[in-house]
Structures are given as structure tokens and as C-alpha cells.
């Protein structure tokens, strides 16, 4: 993995949290999206996920990279709006490390009502 992914995500997270705290919807895309509510943030994340899938299937690596960056950006907004961050994601990934994907999925399904 690239050595600069951690610092890049930290930098993004700081900027997103700053923009959310400032709340200036006229000056910040992050603040304007957040002002529309969690549902709109989640909708935008879903749109970016679809665009990422389309790029993966029909476009070149540059397009996929661009869409993946948009996806991560919007995921960061949603996480920050919920009071979560990359540390929570890392903790969950660490918890899953060494567990078969099939076993992990089966365990989640057993917890569902």
C-alpha cells in the first residue's frame, strides 16, 4: 500500500471536519451538502458508488481512480457527519483480520433478525 494514503486520508478528514464545523454552505461544498441532511449525503455517496462501478466496468484506470476518490470523499463526509472517522473503520478492519470472509459474513447474518 502507498505510504501516503494514511496522511492523505487524515488531511481529507481534517478538512471535511473543519468545513462541517464552519458550516458555511455558501463557501463550502461539504457544508452545503451537510446542510441538506444525512439523507442527501447518503444519496450522494450512493451515486458515487454507482459511478465507481460504472468506471470499473467501462472506463480507464484514470476514470476509476477519479471516481474512487469521489467515493472516498463522500464517505468521509458521511462518517464525519455521524461523528465517526477512519480510526473506527481501521478498528473494524483490524477486528476482521484473519477471519475468513465467509465466516465473517455468516456471523453477521446470524445477528440479523
Is there a domain that residue 41 lies in?
Answer: yes
pLDDT in tens, 70-90: 999 999 999 999 999 999 999
Distance set, CA 92 to CA 27, 86, 104 (Å): 34, 10, 12
Confidence at residue 64, expressed as pLDDT on a 0 to 100 scale: 98
Domain harbouring 44, CATH code: 1.10.287.1080
pLDDT in tens, 51-63: 999 999 999 999 9
pLDDT in tens, 1-58: 578 889 999 999 999 999 999 999 999 999 999 999 999 999 999 999 999 999 999 9
Counting the structural domains of the chain, the total is 1
Amino acid at each position: 500500500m502507498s505510504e501516503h494514503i494514511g496522511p492523505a486520508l487524515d488531511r481529507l478528514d481534517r478538512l471535511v471536519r473543519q468545513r462541517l464545523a464552519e458550516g458555511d454552505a455558501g463557501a463550502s461544498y461539504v457544508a452545503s451538502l451537510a446542510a441538506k441532511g444525512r439523507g442527501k449525503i447518503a444519496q450522494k455517496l450512493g451515486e458515487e458508488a454507482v459511478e465507481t462501478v460504472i468506471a470499473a466496468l467501462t472506463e480507464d484506470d484514470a476514470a476509476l481512480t477519479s471516481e474512487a476518490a469521489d467515493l472516498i470523499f463522500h464517505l468521509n463526509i458521511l462518517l464525519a457527519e455521524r461523528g465517526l472517522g477512519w480510526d473506527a473503520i481501521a478498528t473494524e478492519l483490524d477486528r476482521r483480520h484473519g477471519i475468513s470472509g465467509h465466516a465473517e459474513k455468516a456471523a453477521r447474518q446470524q445477528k440479523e433478525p
